[in-house]
Amino acid sequence: MSRQQPYGHYALMARFFGYPSATLKEDAKAAETMLKATCPDAATEFKRFADWVAETDIHEMEEVFAKTFHVQAICYLDLGYVIFGEDYKRGEFLVNMQREQATANNDCGEELPDNLMNMLTLLPMLKDDTFRDELAGRVMIPALRKMLKEFDSARMRMREKMLRKKHSALIMEGQAHGNIYRNALQALLLLMKNDFNEIALVDTTPESDPLRAPAPVDSCGTCSVTHTPVNTQRS
């Protein structure tokens, strides 16, 4: 991949994983245009999300966002939690990401430094190409795979069954676009795979850098095959 590849488009994609704003409709149009030019496969996947944004009022978008990532969450946006769960390595990862965010002077707002939105806005601000490649390939792509796995129909049925047992829960069933963020996440995954090489997380002894800490062998999230680490050299 060429080192001339710009990364500013990740700051645009980040806007879809924060609380919906009044500019989201314009942002979705701009993102669809960008994806058509840079990664047509991602543009095809993103179209359903862009169409939904265009025809949906802000209040409904807020509700769907909250029910996807916060209330009755299908998946979580904090990538350290997605990869490491409650393991102590998540704390190490957060410390490192806080340092990188501060060094880049990236304002994380009220979210944690490993929140997907903040990780995406960080990518174009990083000066170390090797670190960017490793952050994207070793953490962000595997995390997106794990997040998307939570949208599988079998898992969704199991989740709804569990929620029905908790009578206070309000299921998102009946909403035609209940899983619409799956399309945005899938488009982002395709874009990142187009820009970066995925690096499989393997079972090794943790080093001071939590990017090299072990993770479950099924961290790919989409199949049962254990992957061999990918060569990170660029052509």
Residue the block writes with tokens 């980040």: 14
For range 40-45, the mean pLDDT: 97
pLDDT at position 234 is 35
Binned at pLDDT 50, 70 and 90, residue 145 comes out as very high
Contacts of 100 (CB under 8 A, 6+ apart): 113, 122, 126, 131
pLDDT tens for residues 106-142?
Answer: 999 999 999 999 999 999 999 999 999 999 999 999 9
pLDDT in tens, 183-213: 999 999 999 999 999 987 654 333 444 454 4
Long-range contacts of 15-20 (CB under 8 A, 24+ apart): 15/117, 16/49, 16/181, 16/184, 17/69, 17/77, 17/115, 17/116, 17/117, 17/120, 17/184, 18/111, 18/117, 19/62, 19/65, 20/58, 20/61, 20/62, 20/65
**How much is the pLDDT for 60?**
92
pLDDT at 173: 43
Q: Are 85 and 214 in contact (CB under 8 A)?
A: no
